């Protein structure tokens, strides 16, 4: 269809798997599962519902007669009742007990929670795979010295692998939040029109134990341990806000990674994978633009902005419920998941083929290392009888002169030549070169990588080994 708007999430970015989670088909099939769970629970507590009726509902749970539902909704203007009607057409013997005692939010809200959990499980799996790729990368390059930056200015050295642990650590924090949300999601249950369960009080003649048992049976049937303790007609919209905030957190971490990689590509130290037939620019054939990383940045910006939608929705619900949540949440929540799914797909692709240029990294280190090594050079000269204060002043003067050559004349850093030529230091070039071993300036970087991966990351990956090894297929 080229004559109407289509979401880029569907045509370019999000996976088929995540798109199905938020599809109409998954939603309406989940509605039917919930109606079956309700009927089973009510039958168990003594309502006049037969096994034959439940069997009939089970028979058609995945065979949705969409044409009937669509036609009926045009008449009644109510999506839930149109599907109750359509289900009843297929199940004439059970039509009288479908949705018994429930309000629309019984299927709508419970389905939303179920769908969010399904989406979070996909996000969790992909996040683990990204972490696995980055952990391998960190270990491979744990010893390779590289310039570290503060204020985007060269600072002390780090290693390529140590920098990767910064990306990993933020994603590990996100994983913890995802797992917390998955484990703490609760169904709305069967709360009735204003959350008082009044209809169920009528059905069960005020038997509290039976009313509570129905809710717990529904929860168990749908794979949950519990339901929300109190509610209005809906579950608190803060739940949506909490979930989308977790997705926003992943977007933040991914954007940090992609921005770092874009800067490193500019420095020519690292690059994202570049396919043989890939075109970097329509005008400049030589270019290798970091288009995947740029896409991560773009999508992350959208997801982070989108997190405001559920926050405002939660803040503006009146009393037991208003319907100004519906149109917003069905867009905002779904697209946050689709956005993060797309981001993680790209990260899987990028992290599986990160390109490192050791010679460039070494060259950039060598250009800056003389400045960083001045204190060590000064200490070595003092050991040979030099005056610390006098040497400090000479190093200051030499450093300013060398920086001028680099910045104003476009020359190479000649600080070491200046020090070698100054007899006050009493050091020859060989002695100074020995001081300039980059590995001596990376601190505990390599050990930190080893410890962090071994103690923190690997146990998580080993516990989830069954979901690792996923490859991303990008549409465009």
**Residue 285 binned pLDDT confidence (cut-offs 50, 70, 90):** very low
Cβ proximity of 418 and 374 under 8 Å: no
pLDDT of residue 276: 47
Which residue, 155, 134, 120, 137, is CA-closest to 239? 120
pLDDT tens digit sequence for 140-182: 999 999 999 999 999 889 999 999 999 999 999 999 999 999 9
User: Average pLDDT, stretch 234-250?
Assistant: 98
Using an 8 Å Cβ cutoff, are 417 and 433 in contact?
no
The domain made up of 104-356 is a member of CATH 3.20.20.70: no
The C-alpha atoms of residue 345 and residue 4 are separated, in whole angstroms, by 26
Query: For position 275, what pLDDT does the model report?
Result: 64
Structure-block tokens of residue 427: 């050091």
Its CATH class, for the domain covering 8-97, is mainly alpha
pTM (2 d.p.): 0.92
Helix (H, G, I), strand (E, B) or coil at 459: helix
The predicted-structure confidence for 431-460, as pLDDT tens digits, reads as follows 888 888 999 999 999 999 999 999 999 999
- Mean pLDDT of the region 75-87: 95
Q: What pLDDT is attached to residue 427?
A: 87
With 0-12 / 13-18 / 19 or more C-beta atoms within 10 angstroms meaning exposed / middle / buried, residue 459 is: exposed
Q: Are 57 and 36 in contact (CB under 8 A)?
A: yes
CA–centroid distance for 126 within its chain: 9
Q: Which of these ranges, 5-19, 398-412, 456-470, has the smallest mean pLDDT?
A: 398-412
Q: pLDDT tens digits, residue range 303-359?
A: 999 999 999 999 999 999 999 999 999 999 999 999 999 999 999 999 999 999 999
Residue 435 pLDDT: 86
pLDDT, average across residues 67-78: 95
Angle at 117 between CA 241 and CA 197, to 5 degrees: 75
User: What whole-number distance in Å separates Cα of residue 17 and Cα of residue 341?
Assistant: 9
**Secondary structure percentages of the chain, helix, strand, coil, to 5:** 65, 5, 30
CB 448 within 8 A of CB 143: no
The angle that helices 160-184 and 104-140 make with each other, rounded to 10 degrees, is 160
Half-sphere exposure of 14 toward its Cβ, with a 13 Å CA cutoff?
24
- pLDDT above 70 coverage of the chain, percent: 97
Q: Are 123 and 117 in contact (CB under 8 A)?
A: no
pLDDT band at 2 (very low <50, low <70, confident <90, very high): confident
Distance, in Å, from the CA atom of 208 to the CA atom of 200, rounded to the nearest integer, reads: 9
DSSP SS3 for 24: helix
- Cβ–Cβ under 8 Å, residues 378 and 392: yes
What is the overall mean pLDDT for the chain?
A: 93
**pLDDT band per the 50, 70, 90 thresholds, residue 281:** very low
Position with higher pLDDT, 214 vs 404: 214
Residues 28-43 have a mean pLDDT of 98
Domain spans of the chain, in order of start: 8-97, 104-356, 374-435
Residue 19: CB partners within 8 Å, gap ≥ 6?
A: 9, 10, 338
- Among 2.60.40.10, 1.10.40.30, 3.40.50.300, 3.30.70.600, what is the CATH number of 374-435? 1.10.40.30
Please, which residues have CB within 8 angstroms of residue 337's CB and are 6 or more apart in sequence? 18, 21, 22, 116, 119, 123, 247
How confident is the model at residue 402, as a pLDDT?
Answer: 87
Q: What amino acid positions are annotated as catalytic residues?
A: 151, 281
Helix (H, G, I), strand (E, B) or coil at 101: coil
Q: Quick check: helix, strand or coil at residue 164? A: helix
Distance (Å, whole) CA 292 – CA 474? 10
């Amino acid at each position: 269809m080229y004559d109407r708007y289509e979401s880029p999430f569907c045509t370019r970015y999000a996976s088929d798997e995540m798109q199905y989670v938020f599809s109409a088909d998954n939603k309406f099939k989940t509605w039917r599962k919930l109606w079956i769970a309700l009927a089973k629970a009510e039958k168990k507590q003594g309502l006049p519902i037969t096994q034959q009726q439940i069997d009939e509902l089970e028979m058609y749970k995945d065979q949705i007669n969409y044409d009937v539902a669509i036609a009926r909704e045009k008449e009644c203007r109510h999506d839930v009742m149109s599907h109750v009607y359509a289900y009843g057409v297929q199940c004439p013997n059970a039509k009288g007990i479908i949705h018994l005692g429930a309000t629309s939010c019984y299927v709508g809200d419970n389905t939303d929670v179920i769908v969010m959990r399904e989406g979070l499980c996909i996000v969790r799996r992909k996040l683990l795979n990204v972490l696995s790729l980055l952990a391998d990368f960190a270990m491979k390059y744990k010893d390779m010295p590289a310039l570290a930056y503060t204020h985007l200015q060269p600072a002390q050295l780090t290693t390529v692998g140590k920098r990767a642990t910064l990306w990993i650590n933020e994603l590990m924090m996100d994983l913890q939040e995802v797992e917390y949300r998955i484990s703490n999601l609760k169904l709305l249950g069967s709360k009735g029109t204003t959350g008082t369960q009044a209809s169920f009080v009528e059905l069960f003649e005020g038997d509290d134990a039976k009313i509570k048992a129905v809710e717990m049976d529904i929860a168990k049937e749908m794979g949950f341990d519990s339901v929300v303790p109190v509610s209005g007609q809906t579950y608190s919209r803060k739940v949506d806000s909490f979930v989308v905030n977790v997705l926003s957190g992943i977007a933040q971490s991914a954007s940090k990674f992609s921005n770092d990689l874009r800067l490193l590509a500019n420095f020519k130290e690292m690059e994202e994978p570049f396919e043989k037939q890939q075109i970097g620019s329509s005008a400049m054939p030589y270019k290798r633009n970091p288009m995947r990383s740029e896409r991560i940045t773009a999508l992350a910006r959208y997801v982070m902005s989108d997190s405001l939608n559920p926050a405002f929705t939660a803040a503006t619900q009146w009393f037991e419920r208003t319907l100004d949540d519906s149109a917003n949440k069905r867009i905002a929540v779904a697209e946050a998941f689709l956005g993060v799914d797309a981001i993680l797909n790209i990260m899987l692709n990028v992290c599986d083929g990160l390109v490192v240029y050791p010679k460039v990294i070494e060259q950039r280190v060598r250009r800056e290392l003389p400045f960083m090594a001045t204190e060590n050079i000064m200490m070595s000269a003092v050991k040979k009888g030099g005056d610390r204060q006098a040497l400090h002043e000479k190093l200051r003067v030499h450093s300013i002169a060398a920086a001028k050559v680099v910045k104003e004349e476009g020359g190479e850093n000649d600080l070491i030549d200046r020090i070698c030529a100054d007899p006050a230091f009493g050091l020859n070039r060989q002695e100074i070169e020995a001081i300039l071993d980059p590995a001596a300036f990376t601190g505990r970087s390599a050990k930190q990588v080893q410890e962090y991966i071994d103690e923190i990351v690997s146990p998580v990956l080993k516990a989830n080994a069954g979901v690792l090894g996923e490859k991303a297929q990008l549409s465009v």
